[in-house]
């Protein structure tokens, strides 16, 4: 099962003066990524663009070198994860070095969430609070866990789940791409099933629309294009306080 239809949309929202999100839809190599330049840091839009572009370029080169190795991903189930690990590190290095070379961009950083499909395998990676969801058989699962101060306090049992949703720390990001020479990212692998639907998004969507609303929209829309449009429209109607970026990938 390797047939996918996808779409990506980015919108400035209703409040911000510029869009610091970036995304990549590279369906020919099965790569999809979103990045959200961290507000308050210089060059957030530059950081997010570098991250997705460098990751895509690395993966294109890697796959070009694997044309003589058919079946690699069936034989080596960790190959996708290794590729994603290298891609996110390359992205981090590129952002970090650019921030050092250009004084005006010093301290720039970004979140990053990406998915890499190959045959019936899926590898995901994320840094920060951009998210990846999967809709399967009507059930929406959040496949990533936000790297925020509030989430870390919840994980340690310091606050309850209800407090997590209201906590002032929920928007304080604890991990980003570009601040340090190396990045601590989280990876996971999944087996893709027919009719799975995947959503990658920045927090401009997830902070505006609740879990159930996202599930309803992903379930109701027949095409990724209409799903993306409805999700962005819903986020704007709910306030549109941040840039909004979404990628929908429908498997069949």
Q: Which domains does the chain have, with CATH numbers?
A: 4-251 (3.60.40.10)
Q: Which of 98-112, 155-169, 222-236 has the lowest mean pLDDT?
A: 155-169
The tens digit of pLDDT for each residue in 58-83 reads 999 999 887 655 556 665 668 899 99
Spatial distance between the Cα atoms of 229 and 98, rounded to a whole number of angstroms? 34
Spatial distance between the Cα atoms of 212 and 221, rounded to a whole number of angstroms? 14
The tens digit of pLDDT for each residue in 199-244 reads 999 999 999 999 999 999 999 999 999 999 999 999 999 999 999 9
Beta carbons of 248 and 222 less than 8 angstroms apart = no
Q: Give this prediction's pTM.
A: 0.92
| Element holding 73 (H helix, E strand) | helix 72-75
pLDDT surpassing 60 at residue 152: yes
Q: What is the pLDDT of residue 159?
A: 74
- Mean pLDDT (whole number) for 175-183: 95
Spatial distance between the Cα atoms of 101 and 228, rounded to a whole number of angstroms? 37
Q: What is the pLDDT of residue 34?
A: 99
Spatial distance between the Cα atoms of 132 and 59, rounded to a whole number of angstroms? 19
Closest residue by Cα to residue 112 from 136, 87, 142: 87
Tell me how crowded residue 178 is: count the other CB atoms within 10 A of its CB: 32
């Amino acid at each position: 099962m390797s047939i996918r239809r996808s779409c990506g949309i980015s919108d400035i929202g209703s409040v911000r003066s510029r869009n610091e999100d970036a995304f990549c839809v590279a369906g020919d190599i099965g790569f999809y990524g979103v990045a959200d330049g961290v507000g308050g840091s210089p060059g957030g839009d530059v950081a997010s663009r570098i991250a997705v572009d460098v990751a895509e370029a690395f993966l294109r080169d890697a796959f070009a070198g694997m044309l003589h190795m058919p079946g690699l991903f069936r034989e080596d189930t960790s190959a996708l994860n290794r590729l994603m690990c290298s891609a996110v590190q390359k992205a981090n290095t590129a952002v970090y070095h650019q921030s050092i070379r250009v004084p005006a961009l010093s301290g720039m950083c970004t979140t990053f969430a990406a998915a890499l499909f190959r045959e019936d395998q899926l590898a995901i990676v994320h840094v920060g609070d951009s998210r990846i969801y999967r809709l399967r058989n009507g059930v929406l699962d959040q496949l990533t866990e936000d790297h925020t101060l509030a989430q870390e306090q919840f994980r340690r049992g310091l606050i309850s789940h209800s407090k997590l949703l209201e906590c002032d720390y929920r928007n304080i990001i604890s991990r980003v791409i570009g601040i340090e020479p190396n990045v601590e990212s989280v990876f996971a692998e999944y087996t893709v099933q027919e009719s799975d639907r995947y959503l990658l998004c920045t927090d401009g969507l997830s902070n505006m629309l609740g879990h159930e609303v996202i599930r309803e929209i992903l379930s109701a829309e027949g095409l990724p294009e209409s799903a993306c449009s409805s999700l962005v429209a819903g986020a704007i109607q709910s306030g549109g306080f941040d840039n909004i970026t979404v990628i929908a990938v429908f498997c069949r």
